[in-house]
């Protein structure tokens, strides 16, 4: 982490932070699509491991939920409380805003930031751990739990038992949140009224290729309108995650099912209109992620009347295009009128 000016943060930032504990299995990889919020492919994604990364990501999720509920405001000034496992003294700045601490946690994995955020929401670390595991249950993270022999029982970011698949689903949940997503895109930002600049030295979700000895890693990358998240567990996780992500970006693409403004369906007749019929158009674009060498496997259902009564307003919804994938509805695209159609009597009245 680089701080400017020469004053330095001393609360155990990522300089001495081992992001993960030894894995319980050889590891695996998972690739997820950020736009669709779905898992694309897995190799041993259910393999179990113990990692601090799961706890840190869950804490970010809980803090973001507190922001959204108004239980904690980003601008709230929070006392910086040094947590267990950090052997550096407190800096001159002993208070930061909740938003600044969250930024520190996301970009550097700072353990004191995690400890301070936890105590800003709950009265004890144990209560926060319980809250985090409840959040994991709501997110459907079935493999995530306390390990059989929890290490660092007093640490909010102590290792949790989890899987690569759960880490990917947790990463997707965070990338779907606009505020968190905006922070993930940062490479650095000033905090403490500009006294310091925090750099993305050890991000919880890395952008692009990174180096490190972590046993679990998440990396995120965009190519054109395709954005993917990759998780790797096991030895040299950062390298494996990046290679997996790079290969997936070559293999997949966003394929458009319907364009905004595209005509859809047979003509709709207008009873009593000065224009007898029109073809509905899609109100919005819809695309899915699919392999480059294969057509997307989707089914469409058209729900559109044969007749409508005048008047018809431009962009008036007249039907919908239902798009299904593997038997599940993935989108309902409104179909709208492309123009205004007045009743015929208006035309007659204009000549009187």
Phi, psi for 66 (deg, rounded to 5): -65, -40
Distance CA 17, CA 301 (A): 52
197 CB-contact burial (10 Å; exposed 0-12 / middle 13-18 / buried 19+): middle
What local confidence, expressed as pLDDT, does residue 212 receive? 74
Contact of 174 with 182, CB cutoff 8 Å: no
Domain residue spans of the chain: 14-26+47-207, 259-349
In order of 191, 299, 330, the CA distances from 96 in angstroms are 8, 51, 42
This prediction has a pTM of 0.81
Q: Pairing mode, if any, of strands 196-199 and 188-191?
A: antiparallel
H-run or E-run covering 320? strand 317-325
Q: What's the rounded Cα separation, in Å, for the pair 241 and 229?
A: 9
Rounded to whole angstroms, the Cα distance separating 113 from 98 reads 9
Q: What is the CATH superfamily name and number for domain 14-26+47-207?
A: DD-peptidase/beta-lactamase superfamily (3.40.710.10)
Q: What's the confidence (pLDDT) of residue 26? A: 57
DSSP conformation class of 273: B
Tell which CATH architecture fits domain 259-349. Answer: Sandwich (2.60)
Distance between CA atoms of residues 216 and 236, nearest Å: 8
**Residues 47, 159: Cα–Cα separation, whole Å:** 16
Tell me if 60 sits within 8 A of 172, measured CB to CB.
Answer: no
The pLDDT value given to residue 19: 34
* 63-69, Cβ contacts within 8 angstroms, sequence gap of 24 or more: 63/98, 63/102, 63/117, 63/121, 64/102, 64/174, 64/177, 64/179, 64/180, 65/135, 66/121, 67/98, 67/179
Q: How far is CA 281 from the centre of its chain?
A: 31
pLDDT in tens, the chain (352 residues): 333 332 333 333 332 233 333 333 457 999 999 999 999 999 999 999 999 999 999 999 999 999 999 999 999 999 998 877 665 544 556 889 999 999 999 999 999 999 999 999 999 999 999 999 999 999 999 999 999 876 555 689 999 999 999 999 999 999 999 899 899 888 888 888 888 888 989 999 998 787 777 889 999 999 999 999 999 999 889 999 999 999 999 999 999 999 999 999 999 999 999 999 999 999 999 999 999 988 888 999 999 999 999 999 999 999 999 999 888 999 999 999 999 999 987 555 554 4
Look at residue 89 in the predicted model and tell me its pLDDT. 46
């Amino acid at each position: 982490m680089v701080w400017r000016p020469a004053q330095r943060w001393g609360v155990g930032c990522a300089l001495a932070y081992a992001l993960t504990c030894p894995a319980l299995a050889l590891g695996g990889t998972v690739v997820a699509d950020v736009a669709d919020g779905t898992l694309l492919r897995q190799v041993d994604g259910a393999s179990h491991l113990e990692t601090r990364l799961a706890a840190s990501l869950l804490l970010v999720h809980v803090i973001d939920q507190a922001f959204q509920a108004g239980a904690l405001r980003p601008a709230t000034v929070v006392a910086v409380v040094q947590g267990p496992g950090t052997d550096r003294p407190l800096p001159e700045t002993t208070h930061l805003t909740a938003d600044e601490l969250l930024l520190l946690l996301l970009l550097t994995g700072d353990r004191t930031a995690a400890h301070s955020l936890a105590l800003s929401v709950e009265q004890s670390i144990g209560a926060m751990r319980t809250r985090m595991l409840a959040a994991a249950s709501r997110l459907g993270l079935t493999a995530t739990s306390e390990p059989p022999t929890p290490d660092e029982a007093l640490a909010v970011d102590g290792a949790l038992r989890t899987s690569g698949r759960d880490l990917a689903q947790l990463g997707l949940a965070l990338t779907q949140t606009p505020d968190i997503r905006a922070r993930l895109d940062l490479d650095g930002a000033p905090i403490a009224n500009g006294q310091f600049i925090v750099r993305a030295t050890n991000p919880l979700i890395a952008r692009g290729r990174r180096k490190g000895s972590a046993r679990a890693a998440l990396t995120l990358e965009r190519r054109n309108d395709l954005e993917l998240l990759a998780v790797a567990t096991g030895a040299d996780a950062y390298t494996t995650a990046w290679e997996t992500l790079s290969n997936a970006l070559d293999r997949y693409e966003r394929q458009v099912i319907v364009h905004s403004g595209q005509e859809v369906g047979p003509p709709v007749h207008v009873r009593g209109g000065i224009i007898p019929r029109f073809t509905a158009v899609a109100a919005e674009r819809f695309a899915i992620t699919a392999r480059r060498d294969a057509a997307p496997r989707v089914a469409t259902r058209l729900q559109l009347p044969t007749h409508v009564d005048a008047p018809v307003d431009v962009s008036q919804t007249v039907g919908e295009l239902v798009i299904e994938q593997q038997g599940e509805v993935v989108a309902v695209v409104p179909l709208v009128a492309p123009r205004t159609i007045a009743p015929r009597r208006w035309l007659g009245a204009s000549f009187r």
